Structure 1
Amino acid sequence: MTRPKLLTLLLLVVPVGLLGLCALPLTGPAGIVPAVAAVAAVAVAALARSPRPAIAAAALSLLADGLYQGPPQPAALWAPVEFAALTVLLVSLARRAPARAVVVVALAATALPLRMSLHVPGDRVEASVLLVAAAFTATVCAAGAGLYLRLGDHRRRLAEEQARRAHRLDLARDLHDLVAHEVTGIVIAAQAAALPEIEAAGLRALDAMDRMVGTLRGPVSQRVHGVADLPDVVRRFSATGPTAATLSMPVVPDLSPDASKAAYHVVIEALTNVRRHAPAATTVTVAVTAKAGRMELTVANDGSTTTDPSKASEASKASETTRTGGGTGLAGLDERVTALGGDLHAGPRGAGWQVTCHLPAG
C-alpha cells in the first residue's frame, strides 16, 4: 500500500474506530457489529479501486443487518457513517464497475435502515417503509450521479479517439501529398537523367518524411507550407519534367493558416496528378486570385501531345511507369477544403484537365 493511500485510510478509519471505542460504554456489546460494518464500509470507500472489495463490504453490511439483534440505538449511531460510505462507494462503482457490484452495494445501502427499524418498539412496518424509501431515493440519486460521470468519461474517450483519428488522417494526407509529389519528381528526373534535380527532390522528400515522423513523435514546432510557397513548387515542377508550369498570383491572398495549407496541398496534388496521369501535357497553369472575400485557385493542363522528339520519348517513358495506385488524394483534399468552408472541383477542360478550388479569404 502506498503512503498516500495509507494516510487516507488512517485519517478516515481511525476516527471512526476511536468513536466506536468511546461509544462502546453507551451501546454495549451490541454496538460492535454495526461499528465493524461502518469501519469496513469507510475503508473500502476510501481505498477500493476494484469491485471485489466493494462487494465484500456490501456483503458484510447485509450480514450485519441479518445478525444484529440488539436495540436500535447502536445501529442508529453508526448508520449515517456507513450509509455515507456506501453512497460514495456507489457513485464510484456506477462510474467504472460492472453492474453486479453496483446492484449489491445499492441493495446494502437501501437495506441499511432495517437494521434499526426492525428493532423499534411499536409499528415497525411503517418506520421500515419510510426509512427504506428514503434510502432508496438517495441510492438512486447516487447511482444516477455515477452513471452521469460514466457517460461523460465515455464521451471524452470517444472525443479523444476521434481527435487521434483525425490527426492520423491529416498526417496521412500530408505524407501522401508531400512525399508522393517529391518521389514522383524523382522518377521524372531519373527518366531525364537530371542528377542534380534527383538529389534535390530526394532531399526534399526526406525532409517531408522527417516532418511527418517528428509530428508522430510529439507536438513540436514545425513550419507549415502555404500559398507563399507556390512559386517554389511551380519552379521545381518545371525543372524536373517535360511539362512547363507557370504561376499567376498577383498578390499572396490573406488566408488562415489551415486554408493556406489546404491550398498548397491542392496545388501539390494537382501537379502530381499531371505527372502521373497526363505525361503528354506540355503546359500547366496555376492561377491564384482573391476577390469578394474568397480565393479562387485553378490548376489546368493542356493535355496535348508534345512535338519535341526528346520530350515525346520522355513522356512515353513516364506513361509506361505511371503508378496505378493512389486515387485518394483529391478525395481527401475535398474533405479538408469543405471543412474549411470552401469547395473543390476537378474535371475535363478541353483536351486537358482542371482542378478548381475556392476558399474563404481574410
Structure 2
Amino acid sequence: MTSVILGGLPALAAAATIVRALILRRPSGLALLTAVCASLSLTTTATAAAGPGSVWKLPEAALLLLLISAVTRWSPVRELRVAVPLAVLAVAVWPAPLVDGGFLERTGAASFWLLPALGAAAIGAYPRRMDLRRRAAVEEARRAQRLQLSRDLHDFVAHDVSGIVVRAQAARFVAETDPGQAVLALERIEKAGLNALETMDRTIRMLDGEETPDASLQPPGVPRLAALVDDFTDSSGTATRLLLPPDVLESFTHAREAGAVAYRIVVEALTNIRRHAPRAPRAEVRFVRAPGGVELHVTNEASHTSPGHRTGALRRAGGGRGLPALAERTEALGGTLTAGPYEKGGWRLVAVLPLRTTRTAPVKEPK
C-alpha cells in the first residue's frame, strides 16, 4: 500500500497543478510547480521497479505532457530552461524500470516516449510564437505609423512653420517703416498657420483610422505645386519659376503616389532654400520627360547673404532627415534622388520618378 501511495504522489501533484492552472488561468509559478512534479517523477522512476506503484506511471506521463504544453505556452522564457527539460526527461525515462531487457531496450523505450514530450512542447510553443509574431507585427505597424507621422510633420508642417517664422521676422523689420507691409505679412502668416493646422488635422484623422476616402485625407499632389511655388516666392523673396508641361501634369493624374512624392520633394527643396539660401535671387522647379517617368529638377542660385550674416534667415538646430527619408520614398517607387552643389555656389536636387499607373478613382484635390 505504501508503494502505491508513494508511486502515485507525482501523478497527484501533477493533477493538482493542472487543476490550479485551470482555476487561476495562467497562474504564476506554474514552471516551478512543473519542475517539482518532474523531480518527483524522476525520483520515483529511479527508486521504484515493476510493482504496484508502477500503475501510476502512465497517467503520470500523460499529466506531465499537459504540463509541458501549458508551461511552454504561458510561462516566462527564463523559467522554461529548467522546468521543460526536467519534465521532458521525466516523460522519456518513466518506462525504463518497467522494461524487461538491457540498455538498448530501455534506450529505445526512452526514445519512443521522447517524441510525445517534444510534441507537447511544440504544441505549447506554436501559439506562443504566433502571439510573438502578432505583437511584433503590431509594434512594426506602430513604428511605421510614427515614422509616417514624423515625415508628414517634417514635410508639410515644418515647411509652413518655417514660412511663418520667416514672415514674422520680415514683419518685425518693416513694422515701423512700412506698416502696410507688416499687415500683409500678418495675412500671409495667418494663411501659413491655417495650412499647418489643415495638415495636422489630416494627419490626426489618419491616425484615428478614418477609412472614408475623403479628399482632405489625400496627400497633396503635383496640381498644388503652382500655389506652393507662388506662396514661396511671396514669402521668401526668391523668384521661383515652375516649369510643368501640361502632358507631364496629366501623366500624374493616375500616378498619385508618385505625385505625392514629387510634391514632398519640392516642399523639402524649397524649405532647404529658405533655411540655407534665404537670399537666393532665383530658383527653378522643372519637370521633364524621362524614359518610363519624369525627372524633377529643383535648382537655386547662391545666396547673396554670407553664411555668417543672414538677416531674417531661419535658424534652427537639428534637421537633416528630410532628404534621406525622401530618397527612401523615391527608391521605394523605383526611382532615384540626388542632391549637390550646382553652378557657383548654388544647389540642385534631381529626382527620377517612374510613373506607374494606379487604378484608383480620381479624388478632387483640396484647394
TM-score w.r.t. the length of structure 2 is: 0.72
- Where does 1:103-118 land on structure 2 (aligned, <5 Å)? 103-112=82-91, 117-118=96-97
Q: Once the two structures are aligned, what percentage of the paired residues are identical? A: 36
Report if the CA contact (8 A) 1:37-1:82 is conserved: no
Distance 1:121 1:264 in 2: 78
Partners of 1:347 and 1:354 within 8 A in 2: yes
Tell me the distance in 1 between the aligned counterparts of 2:334 and 2:122: 41
Q: Does 1:323 align with 2:322?
A: no
Q: CA deviation at 1:266?
A: 0.7
The answer to whether the 8 A contact 2:72-2:84 is kept is no
Deviation digits for residues 214-236 of structure 1 (CA, Å, limit 9, x no counterpart): 445x3235231121221221122
CA distance in 1, matches of 2:120, 2:352: 53
Is residue 75 of structure 1 aligned with residue 56 of structure 2? yes
Q: State how far apart, in whole Å, the 2-side matches of 1:275 and 1:291 are.
A: 29
In the alignment, residue 343 of structure 2 is paired with which amino acid?
Answer: G
Whole-Å Cα distance in 2 between the matches of residues 341 and 229 of structure 1? 23
Match of 1:166 among 144, 148, 171: 144
- What code does the residue aligned with 1:359 have? L
Q: State the distance in 1 between where 2:99 and 2:276 align.
A: 94
2:210 corresponds, among 205, 213, 220, to: 220
In the alignment, structure 1 residue 43 sits paired with structure 2 residue 38: no
Task: Provide closer, same or farther for how the CA distance between residues 321 and 35 of structure 1 changes in structure 2, counting only shifts above 3 A.
Answer: closer
SS at match of 2:236: coil
Q: In structure 2, how many angstroms separate the alpha carbons of the residues matched to 1:275 and 1:327?
A: 14
Corresponding position of 1:273: 272
- SS for the counterpart of 2:151 is helix
Decide whether the 8 Å contact of 2:165 with 2:314 is kept in 1.
no
Structure 1 match to 2:190: 199
* 1:241 Cα offset (Å): 3.4
Paired with 2:102 and 2:128, the residues of 1 have a C-alpha distance of 38
For structure 1, which segment, 145-154 or 230-239, has the greater mean C-alpha deviation from structure 2 after superposition?
145-154
- 1:136 is the counterpart of 2:117: no
In 2 relative to 1, CA 343–67 (structure 1 residues): closer, same or farther, beyond 3 Å?
closer
After TM superposition, the structure 1 = structure 2 runs for residues 1-362 of structure 1, keeping only pairs within 5 Å, are: 33=9, 36-40=12-16, 42-43=18-19, 46=22, 49-50=26-27, 52-63=29-40, 66=43, 70-71=51-52, 74-76=55-57, 78-79=59-60, 81-92=62-73, 97-112=76-91, 117-118=96-97, 120=98, 122-123=100-101, 128-143=106-121, 157-190=135-168, 191=170, 193=182, 194=184, 195-216=186-207, 218-221=208-211, 222-251=217-246, 252=249, 253-254=251-252, 256-303=255-302, 319-325=311-317, 326-351=319-344, 352-362=346-356
**Structure-2 residue corresponding to 1:17:** none
- Contact 2:340 / 2:347 at 8 angstroms: preserved in 1? yes
Gaps of 5+ in 1: 1-27, 306-311
- 1:175, distance to aligned residue in structure 2 (A): 0.9
Q: Do the aligned partners of residues 291 and 84 (structure 1) sit closer, same or farther apart at CA in structure 2, a change above 3 Å counting?
A: same
5+ residue gaps, structure 2: 172-181, 212-216, 357-367
Q: 1:317 to 1:220 in 2, by over 3 A?
A: farther
> Between Structure 1 and Structure 2, how many residues are aligned?
323
Equivalent residues of 1:294, 1:358 under 8 A apart = yes
- CA shift digits 1:117-160 (9 cap, x unpaired): 53x48548666433323223433444456567666655555554
Aligned-partner residue type, residue 332 of structure 2: A
AA in 1 matched with 2:278:
P
Give the Cα separation in 2 of the matches to 1:278 and 1:262. 23
Offset from partner CA, 1:269-288 (integer Å, 9 cap, x none): 11122222223323322222
Aligned CA RMSD, in angstroms, stands at 3.7
